[in-house]
Structures are given as C-alpha cells and as structure tokens.
Amino acid sequence: MRLMIKALSLFSVIALSGGYAFCQNDIIQVAPDTLSKKEKKTLTSQKDIIDILAHLIKSPGEAKHNTVSAKTGRIHISVAPGLGYTLSTGFAAIIASNAAFYTSESDDAKLSNIFSDVVYTQNQQLITHMQGNIWTKNNGYNIVTDWRYLKYPQATFGLGGKTSSDNSFDQDYSYIRLYQTVLKNVRKNLYAGIGYSLDYHWNITETSDNPQAVSDSQLYGLGTKSVSSGVNFNVLYDDRDNSINPDKGMYVNVLYRPNFTALGSDQNWQSLRVDIRKYVRFPQNSENVLAFWNYNWLTLAGNPPYLDLPSTGWDPYNNLGRGYIQGRFRGKNMLYFETEYRFKISRNGLFGGVVFGNVQSYSEWPSNTFQTVNPAAGLGMRLKFNKHSKTNVAIDYGFGAGGSQGFFVNLGEVF
C-alpha cells in the first residue's frame, strides 16, 4: 500500500510538470488485480512503474506488489493524493481511494472494488464520486453503484453538431447522480438486471458576455432545476479477458431507461444506450490490439432536460470524444464510433503507444435530424502502471475540428 501511494504521487508530479490532462473520473481503475485466479502468473520479465520505484528506493521485496489472492475477507486498500488537469477543469487537486476484494475463492472469481474520490479544480469545481462494482459468490450477481455530487461551472455550446466553439455560454449548477443496478447471471458471460437512476440538477444559472444573447438551452427550456428519475433495464454480455486492458473479447451493454413523473421526474421520457466494444489481436500472434468502440445514446420518447441530453464526454466514464472539451456537442440523439490501435514499444512492457480516430454525430434541434459528423484523431503513449492487472497510464493528444485539441490522460484504457 505504501508503494502504491508513492507511485500515484510520483505520477501526479509527472502529470503536472508536463501539463497533461486527467480525463476526470477515470482515475478509478486503481484495482490491484483484475485477472482471475487461473490467469495469474509471475511476470518476472515485465516491468511497471511500481517495479521502477521499488528499484529506486532499493526495496526489492516490495517489487512483488499488488498480488491479490482470491481469499475472502481480505481487503486491499489504496489511498493517494494527486494533481491533474483537463480541458474543462483546469488544474485539479485529487484524493482517491480504492478497496479491492473477493467474495469467493473459486478459480473464476471476479474482483470486486469500491472507488471514491474528492476533486477540487482551478475552475472552482467540486467533484465527489463513489463507484462500486461488487460480485457476489460464484459471480451470481453483479451490484453496480455510481453515486456523484458535483458543483460544476462549465461552458455549453448549444444543440446539434453545427455549433461554434466561439459562441459558448457559461453555466453553473449543482448535481447529484444516484445510479444503482443489480445484474443476475443468466448464462456464461451474460447478465441481466434492473436498477434505479436519478439525475438531479439545481441552482442552474447561465451567463454570457452578451446580455442580449439567447442560448439554445434557454430556447430548449432550461430552468433553474431539473429532475430525471426512472428505472433502468440492463443487459450485459462480457467475455473480455481483462476489463481494464483487454487483448481479446467483446463487451455489449444495452440500457433502457424510462423516466416517470410518478417517481419524481419533471416529465416522462425514455432513452436507450447501446455500448459495444470489440478487441482483436493484430497481427494475431503479437501483443498488439485493434480495438473498436460503438456508443449510441438515443432519446426514444419525450424531451430529456437539457443537462441530461447526450453530450461529448458525459458517458458513464467521461471518455467519449477525445479531441474535444467535455460538453462540446449536445443533442437528443448521438451516434459515436472510435477505433484505436494499441502496440507494444519496449520488450519489457513498460512503454507502449496508440493511434486513434473517432467520429460523433448529434441530431439537430428542433428538426431531430443528423446533418453533420465531427471527427477527431490523435496518438498517445502508454506507461505500464500495474503489470498484474495490465493497467496503463494513458497519455493522449487529440485533434478535433475547428482547432480543438488537447491532452487527455487516464489511469486505464479509454475503452
């Protein structure tokens, strides 16, 4: 645990000195190990940041780090402060913690973890977050939790894909997100379940340098508060060999969410999210991976509140749309596709690289038709943080249309 704290602290200093950008809420992948018991092996030929630090502080015993045995009752805790930067937050101070544990000792037992953080940013934003992913005995149920509180000044650019980055409005609001889902195993790698979702925004304000200007959000009907409260029906298929950094496999998550005034929602509306990811080794006998991501976020009926509409960087892990600032595009419907090629650079696995490209399209308002496609592309470096879980520090630079560009940093792969 002491070594994990030192590693995270050093990484924070590196990120600050280089002006790199953390993609917020993605420093969640601090789980020491996501490999099954059957997959675990000694990685003596591989190196990661913690190995390097262990060597620097002359503590070879600590180089055998983060080996999480599938033994019930044992909790592995990591806590660390950090510094970060994003296009939407500026510099940020972070305190993050993660607890990882097993609830059974079977060979295929999945690792449970609970993450929490507190972030305060240069733009006077406060972000608190608690996320849990708990597997019951024999992986029978998966309990998924996502609770957040944000005090979040941000820029908004209007509706559709034709908006200009020079015509933004400043918004400020407080926000509570409460998402809770329980999934049951129905067959191998397939889960289905039900949950509850609440998005509550209040103290919403909007200002502009031009007091006469009228924003799309005002025309759409943005008020001083909004409530979306509904159930969600969730189907999940996941046969990836590693959820943080897959070499192969497929992930499909379909989430249908109807919101009801009877549950406190401002109005009845329905949405559908389809998240599809595919991973292929290319060439087949190499350790390089070609990854594909398709994320479609659709409004099936009604009118979601403005701040609950599909938007750049507002997917569950705030990763969508590298190359653009969070909230750059927004609309009632969104179509998204991204592909990335991940390749090994150093033989010991410490360094790797990626090239990526993505496109996003949002329906225009009020016609609700798709008329534009906004592309982005970039490249990045990977630095192995934990060789057992294959967790990388991901440092990317993305370029979007209209001169949009910037650094994007994650602990763990983007998808």
d(CA 214, CA 9): 45
Asked whether the beta carbons of 192 and 184 are under 8 A apart, the reply is: yes
Identity of the highest mean pLDDT range in 54-63, 207-216, 317-326: 317-326
**CB 72: neighbour CB atoms within 10 A?**
12
Neighbours of 177 (CB within 10 A): 17
Closest alpha carbon to 334 in 315, 355, 348? 315
| Model confidence at 41: pLDDT above 80 | no
Per-residue confidence (pLDDT) for residue 13, from 0 to 100: 35
Pairing of strands 351-362, 374-386: antiparallel
Q: What is the pLDDT of residue 317?
A: 86
Q: Which residue has better confidence, 145 or 78?
A: 145
Nearest in space to 239 (alpha carbons), one of 174, 187, 188, 286: 188
Distance CA 134, CA 142 (A): 6
What does the pLDDT read at residue 27?
31
Secondary structure E strands in 321-404: 334-344, 351-362, 374-386, 391-400
> Taking residues 298-323, what's their average pLDDT?
96
Q: What is the 8-class DSSP label of residue 43?
A: -
Between 93 and 67, the more confident residue is 93
What b/e readout covers 90-128, taking b as 16+ CB neighbours within 10 angstroms?
ebbebebebbbbbbbeeeebbbbbbbbbebbbeeebebe
DSSP-derived 3-state class of residue 28: coil
CATH of the domain at 84: 2.40.160.50
- Cβ neighbour number for residue 18 with a 10 Å cutoff: 12
Tokens of 256: 């249908």
Q: What is the pLDDT of residue 176?
A: 98
pLDDT band for position 73 (cuts 50, 70, 90): low
DSSP secondary structure of 208-274: -SSTT---HHHHHT--S-EEEEEEEEEEEEE--S-SSS-SSEEEEEEEEEEE-GGGT-SS-EEEEEE
Helix H or strand E segment including 94:
strand 90-101
CA 96 – CA 116 distance, rounded (Å)? 6
Question: Which domain does 151 fall in, by range?
Answer: 2-411
Q: Is the model's pLDDT at 2 over the cut of 80?
A: no
Q: Using alpha carbons only, give the angle 239, 48, 105 rounded to the nearest 5 degrees.
A: 45
pLDDT at 102: 84
Domain tally, the chain: 1
Query: Which of 30-44, 53-67, 347-361 has maximum average pLDDT?
Result: 347-361
* pLDDT of residue 255 exceeding 90: yes
SS3 165: coil
- How many angstroms separate the CA atoms of 132 and 134, rounded? 6
Q: Structure tokens of 317?
A: 């892990």
Pairing mode, strands 169-187 and 391-400: unpaired
Grade residue 10 by pLDDT with cuts at 50, 70 and 90: very low
pLDDT value, residue 380 = 97
- Cβ within 8 Å of residue 289, ≥6 positions away: 246, 247, 248, 279, 280, 281, 282, 341, 342
